[in-house]
Structure 1
């Protein structure tokens, strides 16, 4: 049975799962989530413990969480893109950076976005806030600045795994969207250069272009760039 990936083209974590599929030319079917179906009545809502996406279906196996999807693809669908470094020590570094990009770049970016919404899991309270919750926006942006500074220091002293790796898959969507809410400062030139490098990769370009029709959904209004 062909692989199926369930997600949404504008979703950062869906990008994380799409990038390795595109980079290795892996055949799969993309199943865009139907946003008219209540969250926990959808396939992804039932498949994931908190109803999130993406979800990968590989025959009779269901894989949730984007990092686990990349790991699954590395084991079962290897290709020219070295998703996980062969050296165990380098693999450990790749997994560390994956957590940094997910938790402290993507995570803080999502704090800022979430501050524009009321509880979207409560059907009676869905939608945008009348006024964004400014303390949470400030906290998310401060977290992004700390993450940027840490990554700049790390990049100064270390070398990333070659593209396309687990780090690529985590960093590309995280930096793409994070820079929209808190631009990477001039004090982080290596990180800014990494973002530009990632956005030039063919697998990432495809994600950016496929997501372009959905930019009106971005609470701030998507910037006129990228």
Structure 2
């Protein structure tokens, strides 16, 4: 198979690319990377020395493509499906790129900082940094709520790359800083993302790994592990 995605089913940034692939039914081979396994990690490092996933390998075009947004744009250019995830109109495309980056930088990033902190020893934890990340998520929620006024998806009536970024970012962020009563549009948008077949498939594949997530008992009830984390 031409396309190989190096990824892990629990990783939110991998979810973003997987959703894009499933949206258009793009054939690919999945290779799960265990960063704790020397051989598995080495297979990723050979492609991308930073050892960050996901990474897309295109054997047909002899291309190695890192970074989620670049991967999705690469797929749109070289393996277009029935539903382009980036508009052809330059102004519309800029809007999609803006909200794609917004979810990566202002939802994913603070979410990951909070999750990373709970994994540290008590001595190394950073309560101030966690509080700052929580405040940033609240600010982001308010901006998303405003942006969704009159829209089905984040930039309009069609699902785009920006929504692929939104889905996993909000899925995990909501477990850390729940949406408030003032976030009615955001709550409805989040439910549409959960109901989207492409993202539903991503979450179904991730379910065997959710028990590794430190806040797994705060996931939507249908995704919670049967037993609490030890």
> Deviations for 1:85-129, whole angstroms, at most 9, x for unmatched residues?
1211110000000010000011110111111234xxxxxxxxxx2
Is the 8 Å Cα contact of residues 34 and 41 (structure 2) preserved in structure 1? no
Aligned length: 216
Separation in structure 1 between the aligned mates of residue 135 and residue 88 of structure 2, nearest angstrom: 35
Give the aligned partner of residue 179 of structure 1: 174
Matched, 1:9 2:5: no
| Partner residue of 1:77 out of 79, 91, 116 | 79
Q: Which structure carries more relative contact order (alpha carbon 8 Å, separation 6+)?
A: 1
Separation in structure 1 between the aligned mates of residue 90 and residue 188 of structure 2, nearest angstrom: 27
| Partner residue of 1:218 out of 196, 202, 213 | 213
Give the aligned partner of residue 53 of structure 1: 53
Separation in structure 1 between the aligned mates of residue 64 and residue 53 of structure 2, nearest angstrom: 12
Q: TM-score, normalised by structure 2?
A: 0.87
Query: Which stretches in structure 1 are left out of the alignment for 5+ residues?
Result: 119-128
Give the aligned partner of residue 134 of structure 1: 127
Matched, 1:148 2:141: yes
Is the 8 Å Cα contact of residues 161 and 167 (structure 1) preserved in structure 2? no
Separation in structure 1 between the aligned mates of residue 157 and residue 46 of structure 2, nearest angstrom: 36
Query: Which stretches in structure 2 are left out of the alignment for 5+ residues?
Result: 223-230
Q: 1:141 to 1:164 in 2, by over 3 A?
A: same
Is the 8 Å Cα contact of residues 16 and 68 (structure 2) preserved in structure 1? yes
